[in-house]
Structures are given as C-alpha cells and as structure tokens.
Amino acid sequence: MLEKRDGIVRRRRAAHSKWTLAGLAGAGWPTAAGAWLAATWLAGAGFAQAPRVSLATSDGPDGQARLARPGEPGEPGEPGELGELGELGELGELGELGERGERSSSLSAERALVADVEYGAHPERFGFKLLVAGGEPFARGVLALEGQGVAHPMRLPIQLDGEGAWERVWRDVPLDGAVRATFAASVTGGVAVSNKVKVQKLATQSPSPLQRRAVLVREVMKDPVAVSDSKGEWIEIVNLTNKPLDLQGWTLDDGGSNHHVIGGSAGASVWLQPQVPFVLGINADPATNGGITVDYKYSSFSLNNTSDVIALYAPSGALVDWVAYDDGIFWPDAPGKTLTLRPTCLEPSLADDGGFWCDASSPLGSGGDFGTPTAPNDVCP
C-alpha cells in the first residue's frame, strides 16, 4: 500500500487551461456532483486560476441529468495547453501520449507506475483516494476512468510531484457501480502505464455488538517524527465512569494481526481512574519514546500511518470503544501530530466521525511532534 510520509506535495502550475467542465466531468455523475468534481480537480491540479467552464447536460437512460462533453464517447475532448501532453486519442490506447501534439506509441519498461486505491473510514459517508507512484518527477499524464460507475470513459490531466507520485481524494460522490482507474505518464523515451485498480462502494464500517460508554479513545500518535514509529506510538484513553476500572484482561485489537491482552498472562491489574487520561504506549522509556510518560506498555500492537482500526474490548467480548481512521480522506493526517478528539466530544458514537478530530497543535518537546498526552486535548479549529 502506498504511504504518504514526510514532505509537502507540490505541483507545477499550468496556465491558460482550455479544459471544459463538460469535458472533465462527463462521467455520469449527477450534475451537482459532476460540477464539484471538475472544480475540485482543477483547483487541486495546480491551475493558477479557475478556467472558464461550460456546463452541458443531457438525460441519461435512467432519466437523470448527466454532464455531457463535446463529441462522442471515446473521441478526444479539448486537451488544452498542457505542455508536454499531446493528443490523447482513443481511451484504450494509453500508450499514445505524445509530446507537443505528436503521437508516440513507445512504452517505457524502465519506469513502473504503481496505482492504488484507499477507502475512507466513516460511519455514514463514502470516500476514497486514488494514488500512483513510480513515475518521473513532475511528469505530466492522464488518469483514465471507465466502468459501470461512469456514463462513458473519461480522461483527466494529472501532474506528478517531485517524487514522481500523485494522489487525489473524493468524498461523497454518488458512485452507483465500480470504476476502473488506470494512469499513464510521460517518461524519458516513451510512456509508462500503471496497473488497473477498481473503485467500488463498500459497506459502511460499523462495529457490532456496540456496548460503549465506559472508556473513550481520545488521542492517537500513529506517526511520530521525533522518533521511529516502533518507539513513539501511543494511544490515550479516558474513563468516562465515576468509578475506577481494572483493564486487566481487556484487549487491544485491529481486526487483523495485531492483538494485545492488557495485563498479560500474569493477570496483573491495570487501574484506570475516573476522568483521568491514561496513556498506552509501545515504549515506556521517555528517553527514547519522544519524552512521553506511558502508563502502560503494550506489545504485539502497532499503528499504520495510512489507515487502521483501534478496538478496545472488555474481557466479556463487549466492544468498549472503536476508532477507524483513514489516510486523510475523512480524518486528519499530518506526520508528527496526534489525532486529537475535540475536548467537548464525550459521546463514543460521535467519535467515530473523523470530523470531530483534528491535528494536535501543542508542541510535544523539541523533537518536532505535537500532542497533549495526559493533558486536556487541544481545541480543534
């Protein structure tokens, strides 16, 4: 799985675009969603100013409005002044991405574009991210979309960043069927084409059975920068009841290979006092974990930097709390900054929504990390 790490993605600006809204968004989305898709695409692609757009609609076979584009499906739209991008030709001919309007059919075997899709974590909303890596720095290319989720095949212009990668997030798009995505980008001596990935709407993540109110996960350090992940990951929880709770025999689980029983085989008590923040960490040594005071050291449990699940179960098997974060689709995602729950949010079911979380803003020592372990959470903007 591709993973965003250090650094800021930067894209070159392409001025005077002639792409039309109809040409970009003619993919079978309902009209409002199509307009939004094109507008956010252009804004995120590095265009200095929003280009002049034209809106054309047509009725689809189901009677719903569709965004149309000039020409029949498969014919090139208006490629615009995109520098090294030549004519696009038919959708299936991804190798024909020439320079300055000249077609080229050569494919490069030296550069392997690797495409991937990630899905957002939200109890009700649907979102996803398309990513590609392995290209040449700042290369231009196209993203081809086809399948039942689009009315007809379409192409969108892209520009890779300084590391030869690109990514984009979609949220709340009405996706009625699967969409297949393929990337092609110019490389020295030809064109590189990625593997094909499929985007499809997934069932909403919802833990069951849901027995929550006792303990709340309220801060997560999943990607420290002051120290390595294996030394600096931690989770802060709080006891919402008015009596002490013994966590002995409780379980940390991610629904996969990570599983830790609190207290271990010895069965030692681990007391959680009422309303007092409690830090579970992978490393209890402040000299090597970023200066964090860890109340309990766990093992056999780690946090992915992209997306993961933190589930806390009572010895009876009842689910006490659940956090499922993603890679910046619905959840905050900044290296070195904790995922921080709004201080006023004390309802575990609301905490499932990444909109109630933000990046920590309080510096954590001098190593470049931010967070508030054992202290009140930062106020979210």
pLDDT by residue (tens digit) across 177-228?
Answer: 889 999 999 988 889 999 999 998 766 544 444 455 789 999 999 999 999 9
Q: Please check whether residue 376 lies inside any domain of the structure.
A: no
The number of distinct structural domains making up the chain is: 2
SS3 of residue 38 by DSSP:
helix
Considering the domain architecture, whether residues 164 and 49 belong to the same structural domain is answered as: yes
Enclosing H/E stretch for 120: none
Considering the domain architecture, whether residues 326 and 249 belong to the same structural domain is answered as: yes
Residue 185's pLDDT is 94
Of 199, 224, 251, the position where a domain reaches its end is 199
Q: Please check whether residue 2 lies inside any domain of the structure.
A: no
Residue 302's pLDDT is 96
Q: Please check whether residue 296 lies inside any domain of the structure.
A: yes
Distance CA 322, CA 217 (A): 8
Considering the domain architecture, whether residues 226 and 88 belong to the same structural domain is answered as: no
Asked whether the whole model's pTM tops 0.75, one would answer no
Q: Please check whether residue 353 lies inside any domain of the structure.
A: yes
Considering the domain architecture, whether residues 195 and 223 belong to the same structural domain is answered as: no
Considering the domain architecture, whether residues 133 and 256 belong to the same structural domain is answered as: no
Provide the CATH number for the domain around residue 168. Answer: 2.60.40.10
- In sequence order, what are the beta bridge partners of 190? 187
Provide the CATH number for the domain around residue 342. Answer: 2.60.40.1260
Considering the domain architecture, whether residues 194 and 234 belong to the same structural domain is answered as: no
Of 172, 199, 226, the position where a domain reaches its end is 199
Q: What is the DSSP letter of 98?
A: -
Boundaries of domain holding 326: 215-370
Q: What is the mean pLDDT of each run of 10 residues along the chain (381 residues)?
A: 39 30 35 39 36 30 34 34 33 38 41 87 82 94 89 89 92 83 91 92 51 84 97 96 92 92 85 95 96 96 95 87 94 97 88 94 93 96 91
8 A C-beta contact, residue 128 and residue 119: yes
Considering the domain architecture, whether residues 60 and 194 belong to the same structural domain is answered as: yes
8 A C-beta contact, residue 249 and residue 272: no
Q: Please check whether residue 9 lies inside any domain of the structure.
A: no
Of 167, 199, 231, the position where a domain reaches its end is 199
Residue 311's pLDDT is 92
Q: Please check whether residue 4 lies inside any domain of the structure.
A: no
Q: Please check whether residue 347 lies inside any domain of the structure.
A: yes
Considering the domain architecture, whether residues 158 and 41 belong to the same structural domain is answered as: yes
Residue 346's pLDDT is 84
Considering the domain architecture, whether residues 187 and 335 belong to the same structural domain is answered as: no
Considering the domain architecture, whether residues 219 and 173 belong to the same structural domain is answered as: no
Considering the domain architecture, whether residues 270 and 150 belong to the same structural domain is answered as: no
Nearest CA to 166 out of 132, 119, 143 is that of 132
Q: Please check whether residue 381 lies inside any domain of the structure.
A: no
Residue 284's pLDDT is 97
pLDDT by residue (tens digit) across 5-57?
Answer: 433 333 333 322 223 323 333 333 333 334 334 444 434 443 333 332 222 22
Considering the domain architecture, whether residues 295 and 341 belong to the same structural domain is answered as: yes
Residue 120's pLDDT is 86
Distance CA 143, CA 185 (A): 9
Whats the size of the chain, residue-wise? 381
